[in-house]
């Protein structure tokens, strides 16, 4: 076995033939660069593609030849070349090589060692058909044939084209390996993101002290149960004289008692019940029931189980509990109202001397009568001119540029004075008044949009509006009538609105986006979202609920949730708007975390149209707005 010393960039060829004269022919063929005539160029293009022909047309490459007179020597040469990291690109193999192994076996063993090498069978007569050799040393696209005696140009052309192909194959393999590595990294990042989301979701929906569901999770379960038919009970429990334990034994003892009471509730609640810690020493229990009497009996059993003596850090502690319960029919009832009624019944139980269960009745709720009067008044509010819109700016993170405004409705009644939207919007949502109210809000916001110098307006839509027949067509008709570009209208919807019917919501949002509207998911983090669902919907931005912003400086959980939401939004290419920003510290923390937009009293309260117009013209609310009036002065202060 002999090898020539050549430059490192030379193409390595393996010559396997038992005839010395053939080795001389190969050596002469590859010594000087040999030109290829047009016929051979055409043959190369047909066999190996235009790329191979182009390669041949360049300066002829140099070749490093290794000569082997027997198949076993060739196999050893291939093994040594692989070990040294200098593999052969092409092997020219004779078929008949007595007395050692023949060309077919040589080709098979070489292929087993190096799957990437190109094999050229060179022979004048063969004991084997090309098909037999291909089966032993395939694949077919890496094994070729040249008949003896060969032309110099034919051998050089074949070696050049196959060496170039070998290089391209290696480059492609390296690219595929890099791509596979990047895919693995992306999958790992996706898994980490999903794990972070899972942890954040658990933190957002579970009490850190007891690991029981928290108020948010309880409201979610209550909302889900309210959609199904059948009677169910919502009960609230409060520990009697719990403050005395904290004051005398300390908060650690109070925490230990809370954990014991939570375990008792889980053990004594009806089968299938949802037990949650709503906050402090207050718990909620949700369970199916055949009627009011059965629900009260279940609560009495829980109250009795909570009454007794507990050993806490070596101290005997007396505990007791009071309960309020309401039984309602599902299939469309208001879950928030059910919880409110249970709370009213709990208050009545405390007034009755504690340690008892009380069933809600209408006499406990003056609020119900007020609610009915509000519903009646809403129907006439537009006609009486009692409604108005205010606008709160949405600013960019860095320059504090006013990019848009959220339109918010206000109702000032002659009978009760100003009524909070938190009060009248849910009432309107339960009746058809919400559609008339929503149409008025949209029309007023679109009129204001005509005079804003480029900003967009964000309009809230309730779940009932979102489920309205031909919702997309109705919105588009209003925008066209106003002569406004859809891209300047942001539609704000809550998670509840889209997850009630995810498939229909996905289609609706897609159509809105196709028409050019902006889509924002409001109060993100308080509802039903998951990574899968957020990716499924056509969204432009996520709005972090103000409760998480408010808790950032006090609660580790709130800060973790805010960072997780921002990370999720940025990973999905969405804007992230932080609501309820009220302090400089919150601004700086949100900037560092990566929130793209900010909104809150720190910049401006919701203001009437004239003041909103002044903010829109001013554009910048930071120090760069030199000489401009203070936005907080325009807005009338930072709190209220």
Question: DSSP labels for 13-47?
Answer: EEEE-S-HHHHHHHHHHHSS-----HHHHHHHHHH
**Helices (runs of H) and strands (runs of E) counted in the chain:** 25, 22
Is the per-residue pLDDT at 6 higher than 80?
Answer: no
Model confidence over 287-339: pLDDT tens digits?
999 999 999 999 999 999 999 888 888 888 888 899 999 999 987 788 888 99
Model confidence over 533-545: pLDDT tens digits?
677 788 999 999 8
3-state secondary structure at position 389: strand
Q: If you search the block for the tokens 């509207």, which residue do you land on? A: 517
Q: What is the pLDDT of residue 54?
A: 52
Backbone conformation region of residue 588, classed left if phi is above 0, alpha if psi is from -120 to 50, else beta: alpha
Q: Which contacts of 369-378 are long-range, i.e. CB under 8 A and separated by 24 or more positions?
A: 371/427, 373/415, 374/419, 374/423, 374/424, 374/427, 375/427, 375/428, 375/430, 375/431, 375/433, 377/413, 377/415, 378/411, 378/424, 378/427, 378/428, 378/431, 378/433, 378/437
Neighbouring residues of 406: CB distance < 8 A, sequence distance ≥ 6 = 391, 392, 394, 457, 458, 460, 492, 599, 606
Model confidence over 287-296: pLDDT tens digits?
999 999 999 9
Is the per-residue pLDDT at 629 higher than 80?
Answer: no
Q: What is the pLDDT of residue 532?
A: 56
520 has which bridge partners?
492, 541
Element (H, E) at 414: none
Cis peptide, bond prior to residue 149, ω within 30 of zero: yes
Supply the mean pLDDT for the chain: 85
Phi, psi values for residue 360, rounded to 5°? -65, 140
How many residues does this entry show for the chain? 640
Q: Widest CA span of the chain, in angstroms?
A: 116
Model confidence over 172-224: pLDDT tens digits?
989 999 999 999 999 888 888 888 888 888 888 899 899 999 999 999 999 99
| Count of other CB atoms within 10 angstroms of residue 99 | 6
Is the per-residue pLDDT at 527 higher than 60?
Answer: no
Structural domains present in the chain: 2-174 (3.40.50.2300), 215-364 (3.30.70.270), 368-623 (3.20.20.450)
Q: Are strands 143-147 and 2-3 parallel, antiparallel or unpaired?
A: unpaired
402 has which bridge partners?
395
Q: What is the pLDDT of residue 235?
A: 96
| CA–CA distance, 221 with 231 (Å, rounded to integer) | 15
Looking at residue 468, what DSSP letter applies?
A: S
Q: What is the pLDDT of residue 43?
A: 55
8 Å CB contact between 285 and 302: yes
Is the per-residue pLDDT at 8 higher than 80?
Answer: no
Is the per-residue pLDDT at 57 higher than 70?
Answer: no
Q: Which contacts of 125-133 are long-range, i.e. CB under 8 A and separated by 24 or more positions?
A: 125/95, 125/96, 126/95, 126/96, 127/95, 127/96, 127/102, 128/95, 128/102, 128/103, 128/104, 132/104, 133/95, 133/103, 133/104, 133/107
Categorize the per-residue pLDDT at 628 as very low, low, confident or very high, splitting at 50, 70 and 90.
very low
Categorize the per-residue pLDDT at 639 as very low, low, confident or very high, splitting at 50, 70 and 90.
very low
Reference 335, options 270, 284, 295, 280; nearest CA is 284
User: What's the whole-number mean pLDDT along residues 44-57?
Assistant: 53
8 Å CB contact between 371 and 427: yes
Q: What percent of the chain has pLDDT over 90?
A: 50
Is the per-residue pLDDT at 271 higher than 60?
Answer: yes
């Amino acid at each position: 076995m002999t090898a020539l010393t050549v430059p490192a960039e030379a193409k390595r060829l393996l010559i396997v033939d038992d005839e010395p004269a053939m080795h001389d022919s190969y050596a002469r063929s590859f010594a000087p660069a040999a030109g290829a005539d047009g016929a051979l160029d055409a043959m190369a293009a047909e066999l190996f593609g235009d790329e191979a022909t182009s390669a041949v047309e360049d300066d002829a490459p140099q070749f490093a030849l290794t000569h082997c007179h027997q198949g076993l020597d060739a196999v050893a040469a291939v093994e040594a070349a692989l070990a040294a990291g200098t593999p052969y690109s092409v092997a020219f193999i004779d078929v008949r090589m007595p007395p050692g192994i023949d060309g077919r076996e040589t080709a098979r063993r070489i292929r087993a060692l190096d799957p990437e090498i190109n094999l050229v069978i060179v022979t004048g007569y063969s004991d084997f058909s090309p098909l037999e050799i291909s089966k032993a040393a395939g694949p077919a696209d890496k094994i070729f044939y040249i008949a003896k005696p060969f032309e110099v140009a034919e051998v050089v052309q074949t070696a050049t084209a196959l060496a170039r192909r070998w290089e391209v194959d290696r480059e492609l393999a390296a690219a595929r390996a890099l791509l596979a590595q990047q895919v693995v990294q992306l999958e790992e990042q996706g898994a980490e993101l999903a794990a972070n989301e899972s942890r954040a979701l658990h933190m957002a929906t579970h009490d850190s002290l007891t690991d029981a569901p928290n108020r948010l999770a309880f409201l979610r379960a209550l909302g889900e149960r309210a959609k199904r038919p059948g009677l169910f009970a919502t009960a609230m429990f409060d520990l009697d004289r719990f403050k005395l334990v904290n004051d005398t034994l300390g908060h650690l003892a109070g925490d230990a008692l809370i954990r014991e009471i939570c375990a008792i509730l889980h053990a004594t609640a009806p089968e299938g019940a949802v037990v949650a810690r709503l906050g402090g020493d207050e718990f909620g229990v949700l369970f199916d029931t055949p009627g009011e009497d059965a629900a009260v009996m279940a609560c009495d059993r829980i109250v009795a189980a909570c009454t007794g003596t507990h050993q806490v850090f070596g101290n005997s502690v007396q505990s007791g509990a009071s309960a309020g319960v309401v039984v309602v029919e599902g299939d469309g009832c208001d879950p928030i109202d059910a919880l409110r009624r249970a709370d009213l019944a709990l208050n009545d139980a405390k007034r009755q001397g504690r340690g008892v269960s009380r069933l809600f009745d209408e006499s406990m709720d003056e609020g119900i009568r007020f609610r009915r009067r509000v519903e009646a008044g809403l129907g006439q509010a537009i006609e009486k001119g009692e409604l108005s819109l205010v606008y709160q700016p949405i600013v960019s993170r860095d320059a504090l540029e006013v990019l848009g405004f959220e339109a918010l409705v206000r109702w000032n009644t002659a009978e009760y004075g100003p009524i909070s939207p938190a009060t009248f919007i849910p009432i309107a949502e339960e009746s058809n008044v919400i559609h008339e109210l929503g149409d008025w809000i949209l029309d007023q916001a679109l009129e204001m949009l005509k005079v804003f110098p480029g900003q967009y307006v964000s309009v809230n839509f309730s779940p009932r509006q979102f489920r309205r027949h031909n919702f997309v067509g109705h919105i588009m008709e209003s925008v066209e009538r106003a002569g406004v570009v859809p891209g300047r209208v942001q539609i704000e919807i809550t998670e509840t609105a889209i997850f009630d019917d995810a498939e229909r919501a996905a289609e609706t949002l897609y159509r809105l986006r196709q028409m050019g509207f902006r889509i924002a998911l409001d109060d993100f983090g308080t509802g039903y979202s998951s990574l899968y669902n957020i990716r499924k919907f056509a969204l432009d931005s996520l709005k972090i609920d103000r409760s998480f912003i408010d808790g950032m400086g006090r609660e580790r959980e709130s800060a973790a949730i805010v960072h997780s939401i921002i990370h999720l939004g940025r990973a999905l290419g969405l804007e992230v708007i932080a609501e309820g920003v009220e302090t400089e510290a919150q601004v700086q923390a949100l900037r560092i975390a990566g929130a793209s937009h900010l909104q809150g009293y720190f910049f401006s309260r919701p203001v009437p149209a004239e003041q909103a117009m002044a903010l829109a013209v001013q554009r910048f609310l930071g120090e760069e707005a030199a000489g401009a009036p203070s936005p907080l002065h325009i807005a009338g202060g930072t709190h209220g």
